[in-house]
Amino acid sequence: MRTLIINGSARGAKGVTAKMGRALAEGLVLGGASVDSLFVADMNIAPCTACLSCMHLNPGQCAQRDDMDVMLPLLKQADLLVWAAPVYTDTMSAQLKAVMDRTICSRQPFLYSDAAGLTRHPMTWAMPQKVMLISTCSFPEPVTFEPLVATIRAQAINLGGRCIAELCVPGSLAIQMEPSVLEPHLALITQAGLEVAQEGRVRPGTLAAIKRPPFSVDRYRELAGRYEQWCRKKQAKMAEKREQET
């Protein structure tokens, strides 16, 4: 199984999402899969211009020349696509959305009805048939992931595939204050990667364990309070500096 992990975090390799991606990759490799990882924050990828050259003039080829030239061959080869997407204002980062939009070059301009009777574009070249999401969000409530999960599932279906698992861990703001609380979930995510590589799925028990938040809301607020204290000190220092400059 060839896997492509696309990390859409603006923090690149430094954030909680990257830790989750590395844990998943470890499990996939243990299970015999190969893994390529790309960090969108380190790439130059422009938004789609909707020129539709990829449909009308040069089918399957984007007219823009940037780092999508690196990503597209890996997408064509992959069996499994993993979107590593932290929640940014109820959805994915702008950087990752640009990547998702640019995959339109995989589609033809013609129309057909899929098995559910929905109108689709047929494919010029096949996107990965299996899709996963790994995500974190600042807030502690799992409901925060729902808009992003809906988008990833819809996009997978639209490109002729299916989302086989969403591995979502809430509370990244507090996790950054005490990183050790993430360790049990990282071990579970590694196990999930192993299961996907060997069985093509995440076992229900593993998935249920990952979905359990790493702390209660009260514990989250306690840890997040450290961040708020840091913010207050930072704001006070900046206010003092502005006073001195006036």
- What is the pLDDT tens value at each position of the chain, 246 positions in all? 999 999 999 988 989 999 999 999 999 999 999 999 999 999 999 999 999 999 999 999 999 999 999 999 999 999 999 999 999 999 999 999 999 999 999 999 999 999 899 999 999 999 999 999 999 999 999 999 999 999 999 999 998 899 999 999 999 999 999 999 999 999 999 999 999 999 999 999 999 999 999 999 999 999 999 999 999 999 998 988 888 887
Under 8 Å between Cβ of 180 and 223: no
What CATH number was assigned to the domain covering residues 2-215?
3.40.50.360
Q: What are phi and psi of 9, to 5 degrees?
A: -75, 140
Residue-level pLDDT at 245: 83
Domain boundaries, the chain: 2-215, 216-246
How many Å separate Cα 226 from the centre of its chain?
Answer: 27
Alpha-carbon gap, residue 100 to 83, rounded angstroms = 10
pLDDT of residue 241: 85
161 contacts 128 by C-beta, under 8 angstroms: yes
